[in-house]
Every structure is written in structure tokens, then in C-alpha cells.
């Protein structure tokens, strides 16, 4: 694969992701060519080992990687559990999966749709009438929330920069408060379904929808409908608990001081429930996320035709790359479906070809996990995984 194609896909990993029924819109899925990975012998083990060698460094303190191919699998880890003790990184560590949580939320909604408990074409205003104001005259379908074409503005969090957020890391905002703050701003100036804008608020409202139609908590339904069928026994939703239960590698964020020097702040403990919840408040392992990826793609969690929603982008939306819970990138003619997630101190990614001939799951304790730049460790892992 050309280096430029590596960089394009690696960048996507780092950056991150009451009316009558609506008529079903037209959708278009990207082409799915025969995988060029199908006849390969296995992962490029030497390149993968080199990609995570030398940790900790200025970009990351630890990395966990799992690559799957038709010719075999490769698992590796590098770095340290914590900077003070210097013990080797725990290979089965739990970590904050960030927006990879959206894959589980989307799958939960689609399971409920398959059970006729949710209509993907129905306006969400009808399901949650107490949330929306009369300003939202245009019907917003459940599908619009799933593929980020709703036109709902972002909700308010607990701060805008690291210092402010860190000071409030143990505080809590309820999902209802976050959703209400978004609705109070009124809709965006575009018709739902005509523009794609990636925002956590779409999945916060989907979490509220799950609770409304089932009468049970988001965490219990996502566990029942997705985590258990996928065999994700080491994954959980921490709620407002700031800790990571079980073995884990500590997370750090690089912060520049007033004198221009950079220090690493321990950000392991953090209440992520404030504005993440159903959009990004899941703790998992690379093995569990690999199980999710393979069973989901094989139709073992979400049945057809609902599974097709996860591999379909909205037609007629310029530049649309996101489906229900996933996003696609093309590299050397190959379509790679996946989802990245980033929280302070933690980055995660899951993805693969539609036929699972090549898969990648990784967790990197990036020191710039919420930065806007590229992370060389993630770039190197992605490039090696696609060789």
C-alpha cells in the first residue's frame, strides 16, 4: 500500500467521528471490491512490532494492538502501566473506548428496530415529545440521529478547554440536561438529512430514546442486546464512577505550562458521564472490541436488513462518510469500515474490511488524545496493520 493511503486512513483513526412517519430516504453504500487481503499469509509482524517499539515516548505511554487476517492473527503490547512504577503495560488492560461506544449504541437501536420497538423512519419528536421545542418543525427521524444528519446543535458540557474540564472531572451533568441545552439552541439551518455533522448529541438523544421505548436504563439494554451476545465479558458502562475497574494502564495528557515547559497530567480517573454517556462512556478491552467487530460484521448481533444501516451512508449528502455507528475510508481501492474514539489519555479504534479479511483493534494511551494533530504511534500501527 502506498504511504499516502496509509496516512489518509491513519488520519481518520486519530481524528475523530410530532409528525407522521417519514418516507424512507435513498441511501448509497460504497462499493465493496474483493479484498486484496484475502490471499495474504498473515500480518506484517516485524512492522507491527516496530510500530509500537520504544514506548513510552513523547506521543504515547502504552499501546495494545490486535490485527486479524485470513492467514493468522497478531497481538502485541508495549509501554508501561504507569510512569511512576514503569511496569510493562498490561496486555489485557481495560481502557476508555470513547466514541467506539457509538457502535454499541447504534447496534442497540438497530436491535430494537429489528424487534419493531423503534421505527427508524419515525420522527424522534414523537418518541420524546417533552424534549423538543416547537422550533423543531422539520421531522428528525431516528435514522438522522444514527448517521449524524439531524441538524441538532451540540449540548453544553462542563468546560471548553482542558484546564476547565480537568477541574470538573468528578462533576456530573445528566443526559437530560445535556440534551435540553442542545434543544434550547434551536435547530441548525439545514433540512435534516441533507448535511452530515458529527456530534455526540445525536447519540445522547439515542440513549434517551432507548430508555423511553424500553423503560430500562441505557446501560442495561446495551448490555443485554449487544455486550452479552458479543461475548464482551470485560466491558461495562461506568456511569458516574471516575475509576477504571480491573487491570488498566494509566492515561496521561500533555499540558504546556506558563513557562513553556510540558508536563504529563494523570487523567486516569474522570467521570465521563457528563456529556459522553451513550456517545462515549464505555470501558472495554481490545479482545472484547475484536469480538464486537467480528460478530457484528457477521450478522450475529444485528440481523438483516437492519445491519445494512451500518454499512450505508446517506445518498445525496456531500462528503458523507458516516453510517449508523461506523465510518468508512478507502485506501488503495479497499473499503475499511470502523470507528475511532478519544478521551484524555486514551485513544481506541476498531475497524476492518466488510468481509473481515483484515481487521484492526488498538488502544493507545496517547498523551495528546484530545489534540487535533496526528499521532505518529497510531499512524505507524495503522500503516503496519494494512501491509
Summarize pLDDT for 260-313 with one digit per residue, the tens. Answer: 889 999 999 999 886 689 999 999 999 999 999 999 999 999 999 999 999 999
- Show the DSSP H helices in the chain as ranges: 3-14, 45-51, 101-114, 124-127, 142-146, 162-167, 175-183, 200-214, 218-222, 228-230, 286-297, 376-385
Report the length, in residues, of the chain: 387
Query: What is the model's pLDDT at position 373?
Result: 63
Dump pLDDT digits (tens) for 205-247: 999 999 999 999 999 999 999 999 999 999 999 999 999 999 9
Rounded mean pLDDT, 368-384: 81
Considering only residues 337 and 18, tell me which one the structure prediction assigns the higher pLDDT.
337
Query: What is the model's pLDDT at position 8?
Result: 38
Rounded to whole angstroms, the Cα distance separating 229 from 10 reads 30
The closest of 114, 236, 253, 137 to 186, measured between CA atoms, is 137
The x, y and z cell numbers of residue 295, run together, are 460478530
Predicted model pTM: 0.90
The closest of 157, 362, 169, 164 to 276, measured between CA atoms, is 157
DSSP string, 70-86: TTEEEEEEEEBS-TTT-
Q: What is the dihedral of CA 128, 132, 138, 141, to 10 degrees?
A: -30
Dump pLDDT digits (tens) for 299-331: 999 999 999 999 999 989 999 999 999 999 887
140 falls in which pLDDT band (50, 70, 90)?
Answer: very high
Phi, psi (deg, nearest 5) at residue 155:
-85, 170
Q: Is the pLDDT at 32 greater than 70, yes or no?
A: no
* Bond from prior residue into 344 cis (ω within 30 degrees of 0): no
Amino acid at each position: 500500500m502506498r504511504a499516502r493511503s496509509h496516512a489518509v486512513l491513519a488520519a481518520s483513526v486519530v481524528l475523530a467521528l410530532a409528525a407522521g412517519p417519514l418516507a424512507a430516504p435513498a441511501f448509497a453504500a460504497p462499493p465493496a471490491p474483493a479484498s486484496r487481503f484475502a490471499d495474504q499469509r498473515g500480518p506484517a509482524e516485524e512492522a507491527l512490532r516496530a510500530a509500537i517499539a520504544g514506548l513510552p515516548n513523547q506521543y504515547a505511554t502504552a499501546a495494545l494492538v490486535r490485527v486479524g487476517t485470513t492467514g493468522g492473527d497478531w497481538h502485541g503490547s508495549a509501554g508501561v502501566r504507569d510512569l511512576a512504577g514503569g511496569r510493562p503495560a498490561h496486555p489485557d488492560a481495560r481502557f476508555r473506548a470513547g466514541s467506539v461506544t457509538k457502535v454499541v449504541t447504534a447496534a442497540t437501536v438497530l436491535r430494537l428496530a429489528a424487534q419493531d420497538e423503534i421505527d427508524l423512519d419515525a420522527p424522534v419528536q414523537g418518541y420524546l415529545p417533552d424534549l423538543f421545542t416547537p422550533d423543531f418543525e422539520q421531522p428528525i427521524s431516528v435514522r438522522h440521529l444514527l448517521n449524524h444528519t439531524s441538524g441538532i446543535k451540540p449540548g453544553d458540557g462542563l468546560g471548553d478547554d482542558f484546564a476547565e474540564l480537568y477541574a470538573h472531572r468528578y462533576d456530573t451533568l445528566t443526559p437530560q440536561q445535556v440534551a435540553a441545552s442542545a434543544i434550547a439552541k434551536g435547530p441548525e439551518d439545514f433540512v435534516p438529512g441533507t448535511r452530515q455533522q458529527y456530534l455526540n448529541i445525536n447519540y445522547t438523544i439515542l440513549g434517551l430514546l432507548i430508555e423511553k421505548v424500553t423503560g430500562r436504563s441505557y446501560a442495561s439494554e446495551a448490555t443485554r442486546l449487544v455486550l452479552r451476545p458479543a461475548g464482551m465479558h470485560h466491558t461495562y458502562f461506568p456511569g458516574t464512577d471516575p475509576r477504571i475497574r480491573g487491570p488498566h494502564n494509566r492515561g496521561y495528557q500533555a499540558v504546556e505550562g506558563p513557562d513553556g515547559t510540558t508536563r504529563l497530567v494523570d487523567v486516569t480517573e474522570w467521570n465521563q458521564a457528563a456529556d459522553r454517556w451513550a456517545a462515549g462512556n464505555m470501558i472495554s478491552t481490545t479482545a472484547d472490541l475484536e469480538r464486537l467487530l467480528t460478530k457484528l460484521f457477521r450478522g450475529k448481533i444485528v440481523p438483516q436488513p437492519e445491519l445494512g444501516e451500518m454499512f450505508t451512508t446517506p445518498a445525496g449528502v456531500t462528503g458523507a462518510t458516516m453510517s449508523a455507528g461506523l465510518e468508512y475510508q478507502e485506501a488503495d481501492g479497499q473499503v475499511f469500515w470502523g470507528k475511532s474514539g478519544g478521551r484524555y489519555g486514551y485513544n481506541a479504534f476498531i475497524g476492518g474490511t466488510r468481509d473481515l479479511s483484515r481487521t484492526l483493534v488498538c488502544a493507545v494511551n496517547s498523551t495528546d488524545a484530545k489534540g487535533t494533530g496526528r499521532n505518529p504511534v497510531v499512524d505507524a500501527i495503522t500503516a503496519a496493520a494494512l501491509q
